[in-house]
Structure 1
Amino acid sequence: MQRLEKLSDRSQSTTIITKTTAFPLKPALTGAGIAIAIALGALTFQHFSKTPVENFLTYQSSEHQFAMKYPERWEKQELQNPLIADVLVFTAPKKNSADAYQEQMIVRIEDLPRPMSLEEYNKWSIGQIKTTFTDVNIIEETAKTVANNSGYAVVFDAKEGEKSLKKMQAWTLINNKAYVLTYTAEKSDYPEYLKSAEGMVESFAVN
């Protein structure tokens, strides 16, 4: 009888010990979860804090009768060369002193030699891309609204000298003119200002 009582006492003692050692584990796990959540939150904040936020200004050309928005940190230059159809270039700021190529958005206005359908111009323009640049790789072709008008867009890789570039070119035809907008960046940097470039194209309007 005494042996059974002793065994019973040991069993109760073991149960009590098991319960008391189980409880401290919960705060420890909770603390670890909080620490992980804080660390993930810090990483997320660091990631988004490095994402550039662009404020846009409006450019208006009374000479060429168009308007568009552009990032305020980008430099704009109006071109007056009668030998080329480029009329305006926006240039992104350098990322650092080692930045060898600055992203650009060029606006070109071409007088068509004759009335052309959009489909005809698409074929002609893509042919020009393939003959003007080297190592051309057409990545995407799609219908696109430009200046509230039916248009077209092409994304392609190409070489200019030693530079491996990626370009997005969008255009539309209005009043026997082709309005062409071209975003150019080094292939590795292309995504950085893509959203800004798309916003510039979407804001383009012909008066």
Structure 2
Amino acid sequence: MLGQTLAGRYHIIKHLGGGGFGQTYVAQDRKRSGNLRCVVKQLKPQHNDPQTLQVARRLFETETETLHKLGTHSRIPELLDSFEEDGEFYLVQQWIEGKDLGKELIPGKRLCESEVIVIVQEIVEILVFVQQHKVIHRDIKPSNLMRRISDGKIFLIDFGAVKQISTQVVNSIGQIPPTVAIGTYGYMPPEQRNGHPNFCSDIYAVGAIGIECLTGTFPGDLPKNADGEIIWRDRAQVSNEFADILSKMVRYHFRERYQSATEVLQALNSLKTPPASTVVSSSPNLFRLMSTWTREHKIALASLVVTVIFGVAPLVQSVLDNADGFTSYENQQNFLKMKYPDNWDKQEQPQIVNQEVVKFISPLEKEDDRFREQVTVIVEPSGDKTLDDYTKSSKQEILKLDKNAKIVQDVASTMAGKNGHRVVYTTKEGDRELKKLEVWTLKHDRAYLIAYEAQAEKYDKFLPVVEKMIKSLEVQDGQ
């Protein structure tokens, strides 16, 4: 398929994956300005006899109508086109540039409760819309949840119902037998395995993802009791209120679960925000995971909780100091002061979501500027680690969490008047070549880290400014 052009316009440039039901590709739409990218899904019926093709065609038309309606939601890929060619069926959907949630879930790594609440709530909000259209997704799992690079929002992709077109079999009198079990082990509840999915089946899948985030364990590997209920609370540090919601979402019998996504959303909205201490104890190294995310991911997390901080006085105060074009920033909670360019944007990150204290973003150079350089200040508990211990684990996690990372500088350094360490590495995100700098030191049983991220070709342009920001950092003695 690579290099082929379908329907006279969709030029296949990359194979994304697939299986027995068909294949998925990235294509360029040569009839759209700029040859915009799109996703082309090729669906192959199991048989090509006239009777099977007739039924498959009817299913295809029904499903494309459904996908057109679902694609009106801001976080479901838009269906751009659909057609039949040589006895095979094709869907053309909006291309979401990003990474699937599975890339964020590292085995053995537990996310903090507040972050998991945000993830689950985002998915459930989409599911409310899906259920309003009487649709069951049937294959909600981390790899079908895409976090878009541009704003960090989660998209729900790959609706399993369409796979009926590929997996259905027509009997001798032209009828379709009961629903084929479509789904993925670990996220698929009992009734779905038996071919009888319902709205509660998708709710089970989302609950299983939430439990995976909290425990760092694939749901299919968790033990079950004699009644088939998942045993998981002993593996996570989580409030009883949120744990009760997740447990109800994954009850073995679907009648004992929430009966709609709306009910789940109401339960989540009633949760009280967990204290900051819960965040630290449940995921002390969360900042490292987030330091490998793109700039847009981190900004998006802050936007998800904007309703919490809107109208509330900032935790820190900045004092203008225009003598050298820099502004002073102070955060008393973390005993730090530093300077940043007064023409850069400042975005303070809520501690409840992550360990970031503040982010500084370079000015927009032109209207179509797709990437603005950023400097992020992160503070996290260091425990009883020495600087050597912290440095070793930090470098290991950079390489573990970013498979494209290549360390080009690894040297001792100083920061805030204390011994520290500096690492520079290159990586790729989509079609972008990025270069990143991280420098850290330890004080007050905390790790203070400054991370700089830029497109590789612009890294040196902004480095002098960044070096001045790093040099200006002061970590004061605690009271």
| Both proteins in one fold, TM over 0.5 | yes
Per-residue deviation, 1:120: 0.8
2:438 to 164, 169, 177: 169
CA distance in 2, matches of 1:134, 1:198: 27
Q: Does the residue aligned with 2:367 lie in a helix, a strand or coil?
A: coil
1:181 to 450, 455, 459: 450
Q: Does the Cα contact within 8 Å between 1:111 and 1:177 map onto a contact in 2?
A: yes
Q: Does the Cα contact within 8 Å between 1:134 and 1:160 map onto a contact in 2?
A: no
1:24 paired residue number: none
Q: Does the residue aligned with 1:120 lie in a helix, a strand or coil?
A: helix
Question: Is the counterpart of residue 111 in structure 1 residue 111 in structure 2?
Answer: no
Per-residue deviation, 1:77: 1.0
CA distance in 2, matches of 1:188, 1:134: 21
Q: Does the residue aligned with 1:84 lie in a helix, a strand or coil?
A: coil
CA distance in 2, matches of 1:173, 1:64: 12
Q: Which runs of 5+ in 1 are unaligned?
A: 1-53
Per-residue deviation, 1:159: 2.2
CA distance in 1, matches of 2:403, 2:371: 18
> Which structure is higher in strand share?
1
2:369 to 88, 99, 102: 99
1:160 paired residue number: 429
1:143 paired residue number: 412
1:84 to 341, 354, 374: 354
CA distance in 1, matches of 2:425, 2:385: 24
CA distance in 2, matches of 1:150, 1:74: 28
1:137-188 CA distance string (max 9 Å, x none):
1000111110100000011101234432101100001021100000100001
1:1-207 equivalence runs, <5 A:
55-112=325-382, 114-207=383-476
Question: Percent identity at matched positions?
Answer: 32
CA distance in 2, matches of 1:131, 1:105: 22
Q: Does the residue aligned with 2:420 lie in a helix, a strand or coil?
A: strand
1:26 paired residue number: none
Per-residue deviation, 1:189: 0.9
CA distance in 1, matches of 2:353, 2:342: 29
Query: Size of the alignment, in residue pairs?
Result: 153
Q: Does the Cα contact within 8 Å between 1:133 and 1:159 map onto a contact in 2?
A: no
RMSD: 1.3
CA distance in 2, matches of 1:189, 1:206: 29
Write the letter of the residue equivalent to 1:147: A
Write the letter of the residue equivalent to 2:342: E
Larger Rg: 1
Write the letter of the residue equivalent to 1:169: E
Give the TM-score taking structure 1 as reference length: 0.71
Change (3 A) 1:162 1:85: farther
